[in-house]
Structure 1
Amino acid sequence: MTERIWEDLLSERDEAVITAAGYDKEGASSWESRGLGENPLVLVIDMQRLIVGDDVPILDAVEEYRTAMGEIAWDAIDHIDPFLDFARDEGLRVVYSRVVPSSYDDPDHPDLDIVDPVAPEEGETVIDKTYASVFFDTELDDLLTEGEHDSLIVVGNSTSGCVRATVVDATQHGYGVVLPQECLFDRIEASHKIGLLDMWMKYAEVLETEEVREYVETLEEP
């Protein structure tokens, strides 16, 4: 049974509402929000130097980059790195996004590079974006359509920002979403937990990474 990392934030009334409204068994009532797809694509969101930073406490990391998350990001990388190796071994396509802030004149600036432990392998697509959602003004929907993908497995950051925006857009485009919770992170713990709770209730299936591995192993060869 999945450990819900947000449960320590819930009041007794919150827990009662979730049970009474059936969110503990299924997601949004207006659309299918927890369906597991048969041909998922793995999307790695914004694992860049200026966001990850050095493997140090976050208050030290922000001294170099105000957006860096330091050890919070590196703790997630410990899960993302082996998960990506597993996904590739299982034949899943892996696609990356990279945010290019308007404050950077050079899109090839080293700050914008994806960090080595989870860097793309040869031939893997990297999508540049300027806003939160990886769907906004990019080729992601075309890639999903061309590959006949019906869902995404999303890893990266930040849970309450670019991940959430992408997950909402994925649902609105008709794709299922699976979130391996150990492979996601945010600079604020409360935002991370609440973001996962919100997406679980309305837009996505949130599972432990090992459960996602078990799901992937059930998939037939594309």
Structure 2
Amino acid sequence: MTDRVWEDLLSEQDKRVIEKAGYDKDGASSWESRGAGENPMVLVIDVQELIVGDDVPILEAVEEHRTAMGEIAWDAVDRIADFLEFARGNDIPVGYTRVVPSSYDDPDHEDLAIVDPVAPEQGETVIDKSYASAFYGTDLLARLNRNDVDTLVVVGNSTSGCVRATTVDAQQHGFDVVLPQECIFDRIEASHKIGLLDMWMKYAEVLETAEVEDYLESMGESA
């Protein structure tokens, strides 16, 4: 059974509501919010230098970049690196996004680079975006449809921001969404836990990374 990282935030009433209303088994009542398809793609959201920063406590990391998360990010980066290696080994496609803030005139600035441990391999798509959702103002939807992708496995950051926005838009465009919880991060622990809870209840499968790897392995075997 999945270890739900948000459980310590829930009151007894919260737990009873989730169980009695069926969110624990069925997700959202108005649309299909749980499940995974047969043609997944891993999407790595904004794991960039200005967001990751140095491998130091976050209060030190923000001294260089106010968006940096330091050790919080690096703990997830290490897990993402292993997860991407596993996905590629099972012939699961991998794509990336980069956020390019309006304050940067040069899209090739070193701050915007994806950090080395999870850098794209040759031929993997990197989509630049200006807003939270990977779908807004980009050609991501067309790319997914062209390649018959039916499921997005989303990793990266931030749980409450770009991951959430991308997850909601993906679900609204008819894709299944799977979130390996150890491969997602946020600068605020409460935002991270609540963001995962909300997405699990309404928009996505939230699983431990090992469970997602089992799913990807089964898809690779059936390809």
Please, what TM-score do these two structures have when normalized by structure 2?
0.98
1:92 is the counterpart of 2:104: no
Q: How far does residue 221 in structure 1 lie from its aligned partner after superposition?
A: 4.0
Matches within 5 A, 1:57-76: 57-76=57-76
Q: Residues 127-179 of structure 1, C-alpha deviation per residue, up to 9 Å, x if partnerless?
A: 00000000001011011101100010000000000000000000000000000
Structure 1 equivalent of residue 50 of structure 2: 50
Unaligned runs of 5+ in 2: none
User: 1:89, 1:144 → 2: CA distance?
Assistant: 21
1:210 is the counterpart of 2:210: yes
SS in 2 for 1:42: strand
Structure 2 equivalent of residue 14 of structure 1: 14
Q: How far does residue 183 in structure 1 lie from its aligned partner after superposition?
A: 0.0
Q: What CA RMSD, in Å, does the superposition of the two structures yield over aligned residues?
A: 0.7
Please, what TM-score do these two structures have when normalized by structure 1?
0.99
User: 1:41, 1:145 → 2: CA distance?
Assistant: 12
User: 2:216, 2:31 → 1: CA distance?
Assistant: 23
Matches within 5 A, 1:1-222: 1-219=1-219, 220-222=221-223
Q: Given residue 55 of structure 1, which amino acid in structure 2 is its aligned partner?
A: D
Q: Residues 79-136 of structure 1, C-alpha deviation per residue, up to 9 Å, x if partnerless?
A: 1001000100100110000000000011110000000000000111000000000000
Q: Are 1:91 and 1:221, in contact at CA under 8 Å, matched by a contact in 2? A: no
Q: Are 1:61 and 1:69, in contact at CA under 8 Å, matched by a contact in 2? A: yes
SS in 2 for 1:179: strand
Number of residues paired by the alignment?
A: 222
User: 2:92, 2:146 → 1: CA distance?
Assistant: 15
Q: Given residue 181 of structure 1, which amino acid in structure 2 is its aligned partner?
A: Q
User: 2:167, 2:146 → 1: CA distance?
Assistant: 19
User: 1:84, 1:216 → 2: CA distance?
Assistant: 11
SS in 2 for 1:24: helix
Unaligned runs of 5+ in 1: none
Q: Given residue 107 of structure 2, which amino acid in structure 1 is its aligned partner?
A: P
User: 1:179, 1:173 → 2: CA distance?
Assistant: 17
Q: Are 1:158 and 1:186, in contact at CA under 8 Å, matched by a contact in 2? A: yes
